[in-house]
Amino acid sequence: MNCIYCGNKSAERLCEEHRTIPVLDELLELVGRYAPERCENPHVSAYVESFEKWRDAYQTDFPSVLALFPDEEIEYQRCFYLGDVKDATFEDAAIAFLDTHDWADRQSQVIMHMLLQVYNRREFFKPVPYVDFISETEGLLHELYTSAVGFMGMTGDYDEATELVEFAKGQAVAGVLSRWGRGVDSQLSSLDEALEQNEKWRNRPYWPKNPEAREQLSEIYASKGIELGKRGGPGRTAVWPKKVSPKDFVPLEVIDAIPDDFCAVWLRDVPGRVKGICEIIAVKVEDGDQAGDFESLVRPWKVSRGDKSLAASCLGVTCEEMDSAPDVFEAFPRLLEFAGGLPLVLADSSQLKLLERAARYSGIPKVENLVCSLDEIADGETSFAASVLDGITGTHASESAYRFAGMHELDEPAFDSFVAFDTETTGFGRNDQITEIGAVRVVDGEVVERFQMLANPGKGIPGPVQRLTGITDAMVADAKPYQDVAVLFKEFAGDAVLVGHNVGFDIRMLAQAALPTGTDFTNDYFDTNRYAKRLKQAQGWEMTKLGYLAEKLGVELSNAHRALADAEATAGIYLKLKALQAL
């Protein structure tokens, strides 16, 4: 046997001298793109032409050349070869390669381009993360930009495709490289062709012949409200705003200290590689206490049905609930409205990236709130904020987080009999549990009965929370389990209207505790904090916190048990608010 590179006698296809990565790279090009008139190596020509069909040398025999190298040394070359011969295992190999290499590396760009060619006009969910990366990154291969423009046009992102064409033209003029060696004029010409095709698809949306591809594209069009006439199904009525490009987005203003009052935010990303979110959870903290919470499912965008099912499974909801959830451009502005002007505290830099991404996809060029990332702050300064975030970042969500959403909230204080209540918990998140429930029954404006009970949360109470609530692990060690206490409270409350200050949080904690017992809270409820905000300006109040309102309205705080004291204060505040309404 002769070495196919130098012709010398060899026990293998390559002699020891030429068993190198540069030689392998050269052979991939010479054999994989073989043409007699272009091949200047006579030994390679003799090797290829020894086969009945020259392509057989590459497809059937060249793996023996690859086998001469350790796998860890030729990850790229092996993956390139699989893509070049259109091997069925290429997709998995390409994804594995991209998962372990920097996407901006030249070799990664080549593999990504080959993968996008495999996906072209057949897959519309899988290319999303790669197309998003391309649209936001300078200095990539020209062919990646044209591939991304084509994908955007086929999936209805016509304006984004137009913007990317202009961006890519600037890159071409600046000297961006081409995988196929195209010059500037050729690059500009291909981009003009891509832009022309994009405009055709804008006037008549692309519709593939492949049934599986049509199903994917139909779902994408529906999410964007694109009408397909007789060719496709009905679309969602919501129309996405124009996405803000990275260059037009004002960088988040990051602070390096945790303020006393803040809004802790958790953005749950979609399982897998798609950089989208499927849930937003937030808790406001004012004066060291919970001052309201926010939860919203987010309908995943540009993801496959399988990813959507996985997101639903992780969240403990049905696929139908996931699919009917608000889009990010509907949910994210509500988060900002909930947070008001409070700084947003997030767990780490990856959450900051998701926050920016959610804003850009919502058409928001700037988040006015200051932001703080706990991983950038010394551990000793993060304990309380970390405990808040720890409570809302659980791996698995409970369906009880959304179960109470079917209860009816009353808008006006038009009733005289109710149960005012408050809960103390191990924290403010879905992984936390109740440590105390306090309540008072009010009939015709008079307190007639009280309920107060400590609860064993089945977990340790964090130190910051013990200091905040005054409830220690020792105090709840012999108490009834939190599930039983929730059921006992339901028996106390019956079907009465439940009144609370920031009552959504307390109801969620009740529902979460009662869920394993099969007990449902279906009561109507009223939030004194929400109603007080409506009167705030007219009454000249500076805020609507419980203690502040109690002082302004002359409601006494007297009970030693924190939950019961807050329940009594809430009852008094409700009656005062009702009296103000009557004036």
pLDDT digit string, tens, across residues 19-58: 999 999 999 989 988 888 889 999 999 999 999 877 788 8
Indicate the residue type of 338: F
- In this structure, the dihedral spanned by the alpha carbons of residues 5, 8, 10 and 15, taken in order and rounded to 10 degrees, is -50
Interatomic CA distance for residues 510 and 196, integer angstroms: 58
CATH topology of domain 246-394: Nucleotidyltransferase; domain 5 (3.30.420)
Mean pLDDT of 160-173: 92
- Nearest residue to 373 via CA among 250, 252, 243, 472: 252
Instruction: Compute the average pLDDT of residues 294-300.
Output: 84
Is 43 a residue of the active site? no
pLDDT at 235: 40
Beta bridge partners of 454: 436
The pLDDT of residue 292 is above 80: no
- Residue 303 CB partners (closer than 8 Å, separation 6+): 125, 128, 270, 272, 274, 276, 311
> Sorting pLDDT into bands at 50, 70 and 90, what band is 260?
confident
Residue 423 is predicted with a pLDDT of 93
More confident: 55 or 121: 121
343 phi/psi in degrees, rounded to 5: -60, 145
Tell me 448's DSSP state. E
pLDDT in tens, 507-563: 878 877 887 787 877 888 998 988 988 888 889 998 888 888 999 999 877 666 788
With 70 as the cut, is the pLDDT of residue 391 above it?
A: no
* pLDDT at 273 > cutoff 80: no
pLDDT at 544: 83
**How high is the pLDDT of residue 396?**
36
Q: How confident is the model at residue 395 (pLDDT cuts 50, 70, 90)?
A: very low
Helix H or strand E segment including 541: none
Model pLDDT for residues 398-457, shown as the tens digit of each residue: 344 444 445 677 889 999 999 999 999 887 666 678 999 999 999 999 999 999 999 999
**In the predicted model, what is the mean pLDDT of the chain?**
85
Task: Kindly report, residue by residue over 478-488, the tens digit of the pLDDT.
Answer: 999 999 999 99
More confident residue, 377 or 363: 363
Catalytic residue from among 18, 113, 501, 561: 561
pLDDT of residue 381: 62
Higher pLDDT, residue 139 or 209: 139
> Which CATH superfamily is 401-582 part of?
Ribonuclease H-like superfamily/Ribonuclease H (3.30.420.10)
% of the chain surpassing 90 pLDDT: 48
Q: Is the pLDDT of residue 460 over 60?
A: yes
199 or 389, which is more confident: 199
Backbone angles phi, psi at 424, to 5 degrees: -110, 145
Of 536, 479, 478, 525, the C-alpha closest to 502 is 525
pLDDT over threshold 90, residue 269:
no
- Residue among 464, 468, 291, 324 at smallest CA distance from 380: 464
Q: What percent of the chain has pLDDT over 70?
A: 89
Reading the block at residue 61, the tokens are: 């025999």
Q: What is the pLDDT of residue 234?
A: 36
Contact between 462 and 384 under an 8 Å Cβ cutoff? The reply is no
Q: What is the pLDDT of residues 60-101, one digit of tens each?
A: 899 999 999 999 999 999 999 999 999 999 999 999 999 889
Q: How far is CA 122 from the centre of its chain?
A: 25
